[in-house]
Structure 1
């Protein structure tokens, strides 16, 4: 608390030693050090060392500046305060850091905004403002990071942000082209999983439904998917909450050997609930098979299933498996 109070009053009065210049901003005095400013900023250095009238002046008016923003800029700049950036201060501080060519503070602002791009909880409005900032200062890494995040949000949501119109026309056109390229694709067994991920990223429900339908049709073909393909579809249904696909794939999965399913690396990434559902359904099938086997008359022994008779065991078990479409 004391530190915040000290920072809030840091430039409001002269302390003699470190107050060699006074700025007049919004009819208020802001006391600062020429030495510190000249050390950090080539703009201030030129101002204080060249033939500008500010060289010999004890006070300098800064018309058009915001007192609060300039004080925040100095608090972030001064070595004895090094105030952390916040969502509220980063943009005005960035603007002043750019104007006065304070490279170290510019990099600090860019790093802060890059971290916001990686944060999944960053609001859309903030992401659009970050993209505008990247355009304004020609920051390639920040532009790519923020563009990637914004491009995956539905266009209607993006356009509803008031600041959207401030983006360059080229950037807005790039959003449209990228989306069209991502969504205009012919589905195949080979690309359907990648397309589904893109459709989910772009919140494109029509394409998500197309992908789900494609995989359901694949499940219904005479030639059933291999274990890898089967488990991949189950994983997609699990991850993207595709209920119809999940139901269809489960019906196939429970008819495959459990050790084959569990040997798949993808199977291990399924939610515990889904893995349990597959194995518990298989267990219920085997319970039903056991009851059926016990009632099947052994044709070679002429009595109820005698499991000491290998011919009886194999023939009756295979019959039960075949009736359920499973492999014995």
Structure 2
């Protein structure tokens, strides 16, 4: 058996999660959770089963959850790494005391970080907290409104790269990401005013903050232009397209690069090769353009559509 499971003896039921077994004791679960108590003591189908499949749970999350209460002598405390996971499961299984402990821990962390600049919360944790608040129901979101506002401020103080590495793009809604960007702009403006007023010399720090903020705004503007390319929106030359690609590569604008590659794949190869700056485009990007062009060609053939394949940019 796996090491984390050795603490759960003696056992009289197996919980199967994601095809893996956790050997536990019914009475211990019932003593801590009214949901498990009803499951094992009422006329539920699980009452006499020796194996219960929890199909909607994650194995690793459930082990973390059990580790906080199952064996009092080995229980692990609530930390920034397990607070949101434990809170969700504690809420599901009706463990009000555990849920309250998690909420208190999270709220205390956020308050400490807001009030004390030396108290830092990892970007990964901030993103998890933000995703957790977004997943709460309407009543709970209203109760957490203050925490949500504080998290926006704390996230705005993190670098764009650190938030991306923490998974903000996949875990947090686009609307919230935009609110964080707005907070960052406000913070940047405040820093600029403060720097000009006090005559401070930390220009490099200021420019770094400004670049991270305005880089996103510039990329969004350029992507918007790319998305609107058509006859009614005017001319868009291959020269401009090549410039977009080079800028996207140079400044790591992934979204802009992806859009520009899509457009380039619809151009005649000869039109792109005529461009003087085309040789400055990375080989990896050129390969992606060719791959996308091949995909479009295969789609064209399979759909048996007639007419010209390539869309020419004027």
Q: Which protein, 1 or 2, shows the higher relative CO under an 8 Å CA cutoff with sep ≥ 6?
A: 2
The normalised TM-score by structure 2 is: 0.48
Give me the TM-score of the superposition, normalised by structure 1.
0.47
When Rg is computed on C-alpha atoms for both structures, the one with the higher figure is 1
